Amino acid sequence: MDHFDYKNGILSAEDVAISEIAEAVGTPFYCYSTATIERHYQVFAEALEGLPATICYAVKANSNLAVIKTLADKGAGADVVSSGELMRALKAGVPAKKIVFSGVGKTRDELAHALKEDILQINIESEPELHVLNEVAGEMGKKAEVAFRINPDIDAHTHDKISTGRSEDKFGIEWTRIHDVITRASKLPHIKIAGLAIHIGSQLTELQPFRDAFIRLRDIVAILRADGHAMTRLDLGGGLGIPYDDARTPSPADYGKVVKEVLGDLDCDLLFEPGRLIVGNAGILVTKVVYVKEGATRRFLILDAAMNDLMRPSLYDAKHNIVAVIEPNEGANLERVDVVGPVCETGDTFATELDLPAAEAGDLLAIRSAGAYGAVMASTYNSRDLIPEVLVKKGAYSIIRERIAAETMLSYENLPNWES
Ligand code: LLP
The per-residue pLDDT for range 220-235, each reduced to its tens digit, is: 999 999 999 999 999 9
DSSP-based three-state secondary structure for 46: helix
Level-2 CATH architecture, domain 4-32+280-410 = Beta Barrel (2.40)
Ligand 1 atom with least separation from CA of 61: 14
Q: Please tell me the distance between residue 285's alpha carbon and the centre of ligand 1 in angstroms.
A: 20
d(C-alpha 163, C-alpha 171), whole Å: 10
What pLDDT shows up at residue 245? Answer: 82
Cα-only R_g, the chain: 23
d(C-alpha 153, C-alpha 156), whole Å: 9
Output the residue whose Cα is nearest ligand 1's atom 22: 202
The ranges of the chain annotated as CATH 2.40.37.10 are: 4-32+280-410
Burial category of 398 from C-beta neighbours within 10 Å (exposed 0-12, middle 13-18, buried 19 and up): exposed
Check pocket membership of 239 for ligand 1, CB cut-off 6 A: yes
Pocket test for ligand 1, best of 202, 235, 279, 309 (most atoms within 8 A of CB): 202
Pick the CATH number of 103-272 from 3.30.530.20, 3.20.20.70, 3.30.300.20, 3.20.20.10: 3.20.20.10
Stretch 20-29: mean pLDDT, rounded? 98
Output the residue whose Cα is nearest ligand 1's atom 9: 238
Ligand 1 atom with least separation from CA of 241: 15
Check pocket membership of 399 for ligand 1, CB cut-off 6 A: no
Ligand 1 atom with least separation from CA of 123: 3
Instruction: Say yes or no to pLDDT of 246 above 80.
Output: no
Instruction: List, in sequence order, every beta strand (DSSP E) within 159-230.
Output: 173-174, 191-197
Ligand 1 atom with least separation from CA of 372: 24
Check pocket membership of 69 for ligand 1, CB cut-off 6 A: no
Angstrom CA distances, 169 to 104, 150, 173, 278, stand at: 11, 11, 10, 25
The ranges of the chain annotated as CATH 3.20.20.10 are: 103-272
How confident is residue 56, by pLDDT bands cut at 50, 70 and 90? very high
Q: Please tell me the distance between residue 61's alpha carbon and the centre of ligand 1 in angstroms.
A: 7
Q: Please tell me the distance between residue 133's alpha carbon and the centre of ligand 1 in angstroms.
A: 24
What pLDDT shows up at residue 248? Answer: 87
Active site residues: 344
Stretch 164-170: mean pLDDT, rounded? 93
Ligand 1 atom with least separation from CA of 318: 25
Pocket test for ligand 1, best of 40, 44, 54, 60 (most atoms within 8 A of CB): 60
How confident is residue 237, by pLDDT bands cut at 50, 70 and 90? very high
Stretch 21-35: mean pLDDT, rounded? 98
Output the residue whose Cα is nearest ligand 1's atom 24: 373
Q: Please tell me the distance between residue 300's alpha carbon and the centre of ligand 1 in angstroms.
A: 32
Q: Please tell me the distance between residue 372's alpha carbon and the centre of ligand 1 in angstroms.
A: 9
Q: Does the predicted model carry a pTM greater than 0.85?
A: yes
d(C-alpha 186, C-alpha 179), whole Å: 11
Output the residue whose Cα is nearest ligand 1's atom 6: 238
DSSP-based three-state secondary structure for 18: helix
User: For residue range 384-394, what is the model confidence (pLDDT) as tens digits?
Assistant: 999 999 999 99
